Structure 1
Amino acid sequence: MYTLHKKQNLPVSLQEAWDFISTPKNLAVITPPSMGFVTLSGDDRKMFAGQIIHYTITPLLGYKMEWVTEITHVQDKQFFVDEQRYGPYKFWHHKHFLKEIPGGVEMEDIVHYKIPMGILGKMAHPILVKPKLEKIFEYRRNKLIELFGEFKG
């Protein structure tokens, strides 16, 4: 099991940050174009517990795959959790937290994940999977700064 932990401060209100991250259509906005992210269903309303979101991604070398996640927990303006039901990982549990801070909001992501394919997956993790996830979250960080500005706090 691996963990990815990221924090980012943004110069926006808690409401503005929540409105953005709790709108499933915005996931495409903060995902690198190279991922070929396309939502197939489930992004037609504000996030709620039990929501199923179905999309395709192209993570490596033009290989397109389906990914289905379920929003399992939602606490208004505080956090939500998405879990993979079908997709590239053996296990995926992603917690998104928001916290009001002086001058803005702190966004925190904690992802627990497990790679399929046993020993091959373990060997691929430091070479392919972890660097890819780091690039995805770095793109998201930069995109959020582009959209909302740099935190000066």
Structure 2
Amino acid sequence: MITVKTHIEISAPIQVCFDLARDIDIHTKTVWKHTKEKAIMGAASEPIGLGQTVTFEATHFLVRQRLSSKITEYQEPFLFVDEMQKGAFKSLRHVHEFKQLVGKTLMTDTLYFEAPFGMIGKAVERLILKKYMQKFLEHRNQQLKILIEER
């Protein structure tokens, strides 16, 4: 299993960051454009909450794929966790944490994932997926920061 962690400070109150990080419309606007990611089922146009699911369709590594995720933990405005229910990974768990600082919010993402296909999957995790997912999260979080701070 691979762990990817990112931190970003956003000049906004914790509640704003928490709410907009859960907003599905905003999510699809802050990921890499070339993935053409869109929500196709579930909480497709609102902030997602505990027990709710969403299915995204996106292109990664030239393959159009779907990933269904469910919010399994929720502590407003400090934490929410989404876990893959169905998708390309053997497992995927994404922990979103928020901490109020003076005049800003620290947003921390911790992504745990495991690729299928045994030893081949483990090699792909380390050689390709870890860096790819790190860059994906960093880009998404930077775009979210820009969007929030421009409000």
TM-score normalised by structure 2 residue count: 0.90
* Structure 2, gaps ≥5 residues long: none
SS state of the match for residue 28, structure 1?
Answer: helix
SS state of the match for residue 46, structure 2?
Answer: coil
Match of 1:126 in 2: 126
Match of 1:55 in 2: 56
Equivalent positions of 1:69-84 (< 5 A) are 69-84=69-84
Aligned mates of 2:141, 2:25 — CA distance in 1: 17
SS state of the match for residue 57, structure 1?
Answer: strand
Letter in 1 for 2:102: P
Deviations 1:104-143 (A, max 9, x none): 0000111111111111112212332112112212212331
Aligned mates of 2:24, 2:127 — CA distance in 1: 30
Quote the RMSD (CA, aligned, Å).
1.7
Letter in 1 for 2:68: V
Aligned mates of 2:145, 2:45 — CA distance in 1: 25
**Structure 1: which 4+ aligned runs deviate by more than 4 Å?**
none
SS state of the match for residue 12, structure 1?
Answer: coil
SS state of the match for residue 29, structure 1?
Answer: helix
- The share of aligned pairs that are identical, in percent, is 23
Mapped pair 1:11 → 2:34: no
Mapped pair 1:39 → 2:39: yes
Count of aligned pairs: 149
Shift of 1:144: 2.8
Aligned mates of 1:46, 1:2 — CA distance in 2: 27
Shift of 1:149: 4.4
Aligned mates of 1:11, 1:45 — CA distance in 2: 23
Contact between 2:49 and 2:71, CA under 8 Å: does it hold in 1? yes
* Structure 1, gaps ≥5 residues long: none
Aligned mates of 1:33, 1:87 — CA distance in 2: 20
Aligned mates of 2:10, 2:47 — CA distance in 1: 21
Q: Using a 3 Å threshold, how does the CA distance of structure 1 residues 46 and 140 change in structure 2: closer, same or farther? A: closer
